[in-house]
Amino acid sequence: MAEIHTLEPVGLRDLWPHEAYDFTPWLAKNLALLGSELNLVLEREGEEVTLPGAGKVDILARQATTDARVVIENQLGSSDDSHCLRLLGYAANAEANILVWVARDFSDYHRSILSWLNESDNIAVYAVEVRAFLVDGRKVADFKLVVEPPQAGTTSARRARTASTYYAEFYRPVVENLRRRGLQPVGRGGFRGKYRSFQSGYRGVYYSSGFSQGRATASLGFYGTDKQDIFDAFTQHRAEIDDRLNGETEWVEEGDQYWVWLQAEKAIDDPMSIPDTVGQWITENLLKLREVVQPYLDRVMANMGISSDDVEEPG
């Protein structure tokens, strides 16, 4: 009968005496081991890399299958506010798609912060505990995933989530795809719930997507004190815009709301189970809408003396 060895827990510093000089280089060389726990294919780009506006990150990597930027923050001790603050800074400024925090263990407080970050459309956050053992005189290590983004959960977990969380999961790849193709979200993704907004280049005028009476929408909306004047000037180009969009547009003026809409024909039966094809429709039609109407919007704004300088920074 084969001999069965037992796992004897040992302190992390028995394997890696120094966090920066020992643990970070080891982790960078063993990203495949970490990636297998996260179900990600990680490729190392560098260690102690300085990112403009975000500071120095422990490890910078890429998710090979999507080319998403991955920032990894690691420590040998328990999760603390210092590392959490750095992670929040990366979330806000590093233009990363995936954040991974590796630590000995995580407090409930820090887990709740990471779970809250996972409500964002633009970023996926993982918390991973690292453990060390002595097996037959040999030192070994492994990882335990303790926080993951919603889309990585099980089917039963998906059903238990709120509608707001579900929409965040649905929109995450849509927003990232649009960002890569030059349509930047407003703030941390604009609006919330079933709506998202994107920059037009002018404050108070936004492209947006959402769901109205079960139908997916792609639209251009006008807000702010000058919205009626801008909308009225914009409608002078209505015939040309309608022609270029094959008559699919709806021009809405209700009370103080001003919109140019495209709507999907097929209704969404279950708002908690939206097909991927709907995300594709939103992406394609927002890009089509921008391609057609942006030149007219630029012309209207120029004629009204409104500058495109004062815009929101990408989220």
Q: In the prediction, which pLDDT does 157 show?
A: 41
Q: In the prediction, which pLDDT does 300 show?
A: 94
Q: In the prediction, which pLDDT does 313 show?
A: 42
Q: Give the pLDDT confidence of 185-218 residue by residue, as tens digits.
A: 876 545 667 888 898 999 889 999 988 777 899 9
- For CA atoms 217, 208, 175, 155, the dihedral sign is negative
Q: In the prediction, which pLDDT does 154 show?
A: 42
% of the chain with per-residue pLDDT over 90: 37
Q: Which residues pair with 132 in a beta bridge?
A: 10, 141
Q: Give the pLDDT confidence of 50-64 residue by residue, as tens digits.
A: 887 778 899 999 888
SS3 string, 200-217, reads EEECCEEEEEEEECCEEE
More confident residue, 146 or 120: 146
Where do the DSSP E strands lie in 167-231? 196-202, 205-212, 215-222
pTM of the model: 0.55
Q: In the prediction, which pLDDT does 155 show?
A: 39
Split at pLDDT 50, 70, 90, the class of 2 is low
Q: In the prediction, which pLDDT does 160 show?
A: 39
Distance in angstroms between the alpha carbons of the first and the last residue of the chain = 59
Q: Distance between CA atoms of 71 and 65, rounded to whole angstroms?
A: 16
- Containing H/E element for 244? helix 238-244
